[in-house]
Amino acid sequence: MKQQINLYLPEFKVEKDPLTVLVMAQVLAVVLAIMIVVSSYEVFTRWQLGTELADLRITLAEETRKTAALDAELSRRSQNVELSNRLDRAEAVLASSQRVRDFLSGAKLGNVSGFSEYFKDLSRAAIDGLSISEFTFTDGGETVTLSGKVADSAMVPRYVANFENGNSPLKTKHFNPSISRPDVEAPFFDFVLSTTSE
């Protein structure tokens, strides 16, 4: 018995190896191309950085030369003792002036407009039979003390009430009166008025 076998059937075809010489050559060519591009980029970057480094070295040399010239100038100037002393004195005066300015700008100086309105109100409030022998303004007019003599103790509150019509800060003050008779037979009373801010 004879049997025929068809050798062209797919089962009998020889399978081709996917890694042929041509495919391997193509892969090798692609890898070489990538390596050449990366190497070229690296060479170009090195060349560019080398140029930049050379420029920076030139700039550094120039700045070093300028610094040396300034150091020489400074040492020449610092050798002038009189100039150094004058500079030290000027700096001390400047520091002192700044301390005074800082103090004045931060300090409460009190009444900077004067006390003329106080005196006007004191004279406008005058009552016959009442005389002021002493007055004191402290803390820039914040505290006022008046002392004197009065014929009748009831005149002191009327005198204080007259301040309400004035223009000075006396009208906003609260007076604490102290009225006493120095002697039982004395024809007058001594009084002291002191204020505190309301």
pLDDT digits (tens, 9 = 90+) for 174-188: 888 888 888 888 888
Cα(125)–Cα(161) distance, integer angstroms: 8
pTM equals 0.42
pLDDT in tens, 47-64: 999 999 999 999 999 999
> Scanning the structure block, which residue is given the tokens 């004197």?
148
Can you tell me whether residue 109 is helix, strand or coil?
Answer: coil
Average pLDDT over residues 10-22: 75
Query: What's the pLDDT band for 198 if we cut at 50, 70, 90?
Result: very low
pLDDT over threshold 60, residue 112: no
Cα(46)–Cα(40) distance, integer angstroms: 10
- Does an H or E element contain 8, and which? none
Cα(193)–Cα(133) distance, integer angstroms: 12
Confidence at residue 196, expressed as pLDDT on a 0 to 100 scale: 65
Cα(163)–Cα(171) distance, integer angstroms: 5
Listed range (85-89, 100-104, 126-130) with the worst mean pLDDT: 100-104
Confidence at residue 127, expressed as pLDDT on a 0 to 100 scale: 85
Q: Return the structure tokens found at 45.
A: 């970057």
Q: Return the structure tokens found at 130.
A: 């009442």
For residues 192 and 143, the answer to whether their CB atoms sit within 8 Å is no
